[in-house]
Amino acid sequence: MVLTIPLVLLLAAVLALLLRFRAVGAGAAVAAALFGFYLAGTGAAHTVNALITAVAGALAGIGH
């Protein structure tokens, strides 16, 4: 059985945990979210997406 979790949900959970344990402040969390939002609208979005896809593929291949 394979369970897939969207990356955005995983990152949201990590950010929520960081906020919960006060490892990052609310201002830094907002800045990180805004950075990601604006990064998605730049020319770097394709490169970042390709990198994340490659890393996810490599991690998935480790178990096989």
**What pLDDT was estimated at residue 36?**
86
Q: How far apart are CA 45 and CA 26, in angstroms?
A: 25
Split at pLDDT 50, 70, 90, the class of 1 is low
How many other CB atoms sit within 10 Å of the CB of residue 18?
Answer: 15
pLDDT single digits (tens) 15-58 = 889 989 999 999 999 988 888 888 889 999 999 889 989 998 89
Residue 15 · residue 32 · CB < 8 Å: yes
Taken in order 24, 49, 2, 6, the sign of the CA dihedral is positive
Give this prediction's pTM: 0.66
